[in-house]
């Protein structure tokens, strides 16, 4: 994994804006509706070319495929694995429970209510889950990504590439285990069963030459959803379980080939019950990864940089602080971005161990997004400009 040796490198969290045409095709495929596969292939390539050139034109160093061929960062597994079916009824978040007027306000947003229902209540695990077709889905994504990277306008311009994949914890807390599932008697059985399957996807991604990013919002977000009514210790025990399963899935991959994204969810809400960074760090540091990506660019968590001074990163681990808020169309001034990066650098104590990132995805689920496409790209440009300001301060 590259480090910021002579300037602050930049990256993002994974999902980027999809084209409207691709969004419709992705949702149709997810819902089992008829769609033209040739149209899908053409539009996926067109969308990929747009996000690759968009990242590079914005000055992003460590790039990916924008997750454009996938309907969502976690729910895509139900299209690739057997064993899922029915509907998984997730609990309401504490935000929805404590702020009912905000909840009703959110439902008035055009298209949001239907799309939120689609991404919130997903399929459940009704039997043993396992990959079908020899990783056909991830192979398609990586072949498409490689084709885009070979384009003359893209080739050689990126410093490094990464590919994101769902963590065992986010899969098992989003697609819940049916209580009469004959394959898994307990949630622990389910978590480790999923981890063993995801291990195949993880190892394949790394074998194709990319850094693997594990998306694990469960390690923070589920405090206010699945465990919103429980004592904190109950949630932290589940975090330990998820990290144990993650480490099993990563057992054959060097830590420096993996980065971990943790967040509290990127919905536009109060987030008043988010668990503090300092509470999570001792557990997150147990993950066998080379970098930690975490939001520090929003009004609820921007103040938490000192946690990384008080609890230093493990040897060899990098920090990817989120310094761009992905829940608002306010465009950060580059000086604001620079100040946020500087705060992370000061807390870590070594600029070479900091890569500037954004809080979360800009297109977490197809058709369920908060940031306008043109604003999203402008935010990435502001990220680069802010990183340049800090780089000049440090290296001259």
Task: Let me know: does 362 contact 369? Beta carbons within 8 Å.
Answer: yes
pLDDT for 294: 98
pTM of the model: 0.96
pLDDT tens digits for 129-154? Answer: 999 878 999 999 999 999 999 999 99
pLDDT tens digits for 61-100? Answer: 999 999 999 999 999 999 999 999 999 888 999 999 999 9
By the 10 Å C-beta count (0-12 exposed, 13-18 middle, 19+ buried), 283 is classed as: middle
105 found inside a domain:
yes
111 found inside a domain:
yes
Range of the domain at 390: 20-395
**Under DSSP, is residue 10 helix (H, G, I), strand (E, B) or coil?**
strand
The helix or strand, by DSSP H or E, that contains position 346, with its residue range, turns out to be helix 334-348
pLDDT tens digits for 152-173? Answer: 999 889 999 999 999 999 999 9
How far apart are the C-alpha atoms of 376 and 379, rounded to whole Å?
A: 5
How far apart are the C-alpha atoms of 323 and 347, rounded to whole Å?
A: 14
Here the tokens at position 147 are 């084709």
Here the tokens at position 384 are 């680069």
pLDDT for 115: 59
Give the residues of the chain that fall short of pLDDT 50.
110, 113
Question: Which DSSP state fits 319?
Answer: E
What count of Cα atoms within 13 Å lies in the side-chain half-sphere of residue 32? 3
CATH code for the domain in which residue 367 is found: 3.20.20.210
pLDDT tens digits for 102-128? Answer: 888 876 654 554 555 666 778 999 999
pLDDT for 239: 98
276 found inside a domain:
yes
How far apart are the C-alpha atoms of 24 and 30, rounded to whole Å?
A: 10
338 found inside a domain:
yes
Q: Count of residues for the chain?
A: 396
Task: Let me know: does 77 contact 166? Beta carbons within 8 Å.
Answer: yes
Here the tokens at position 205 are 């991604």
How far apart are the C-alpha atoms of 393 and 103, rounded to whole Å?
A: 44
How far apart are the C-alpha atoms of 195 and 136, rounded to whole Å?
A: 18
* First vs last C-alpha separation in the chain: 24
217 found inside a domain:
yes
364 found inside a domain:
yes
Taking Cα atoms as reference points, which of 39, 19, 8, 40 lies closest to residue 334? Answer: 8
Number of domains present in the structure of the chain: 1
């Amino acid at each position: 994994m590259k480090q910021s040796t002579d300037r602050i490198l930049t990256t993002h969290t994974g999902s980027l804006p999809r084209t409207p045409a691709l969004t419709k095709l992705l949702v149709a495929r997810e819902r089992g509706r008829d769609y033209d596969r040739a149209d899908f292939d053409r539009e996926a390539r067109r969308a990929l070319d747009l996000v690759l050139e968009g990242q590079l034109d914005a000055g992003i160093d460590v790039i990916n495929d924008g997750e454009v061929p996938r309907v969502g960062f976690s729910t895509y597994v139900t299209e690739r694995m057997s064993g899922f079916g029915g509907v998984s009824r997730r609990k309401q978040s504490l935000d929805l429970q404590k702020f009912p007027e905000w909840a009703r306000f959110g439902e008035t947003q055009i298209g949001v209510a239907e799309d939120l229902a689609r991404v919130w209540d997903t399929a459940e695990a009704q039997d043993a889950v396992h990959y079908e077709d020899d990783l056909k889905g991830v192979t398609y994504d990586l072949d498409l990504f490689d084709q885009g990277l070979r384009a003359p306008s893209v080739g050689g311009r990126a410093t490094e590439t990464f590919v994101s994949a769902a963590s065992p914890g986010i899969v098992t807390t989003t697609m819940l285990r049916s209580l009469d599932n004959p394959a898994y008697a307990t949630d622990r059985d389910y978590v480790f069963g999923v981890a063993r399957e995801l291990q195949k996807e993880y190892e394949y991604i790394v074998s194709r030459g990319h850094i693997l990013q594990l998306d694990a919002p469960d390690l923070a977000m589920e405090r206010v959803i699945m465990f919103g009514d429980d004592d904190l210790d109950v949630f932290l025990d589940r975090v330990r379980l998820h990290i144990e399963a993650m480490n099993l899935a990563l057992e054959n991959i060097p830590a420096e080939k993996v980065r971990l994204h943790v967040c509290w969810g990127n919905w536009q809400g109060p987030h008043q019950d988010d668990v503090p960074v300092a509470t999570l760090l001792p557990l997150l540091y147990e993950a066998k990864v080379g970098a930690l990506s975490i939001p520090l660019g929003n009004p609820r968590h921007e103040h938490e940089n000192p946690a990384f001074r008080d609890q230093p990163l493990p040897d060899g681990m990098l920090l990817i602080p989120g310094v761009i808020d992905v829940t608002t169309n306010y465009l950060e001034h580059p000086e604001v971005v620079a100040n946020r990066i500087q705060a992370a650098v000061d807390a870590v104590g070594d600029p070479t161990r900091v890569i500037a990132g954004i809080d979360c995805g800009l297109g977490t689920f197809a058709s369920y997004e908060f940031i306008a496409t043109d604003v999203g790209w402008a935010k990435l440009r502001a990220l680069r400009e802010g990183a340049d300001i800090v780089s000049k301060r440090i290296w001259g």
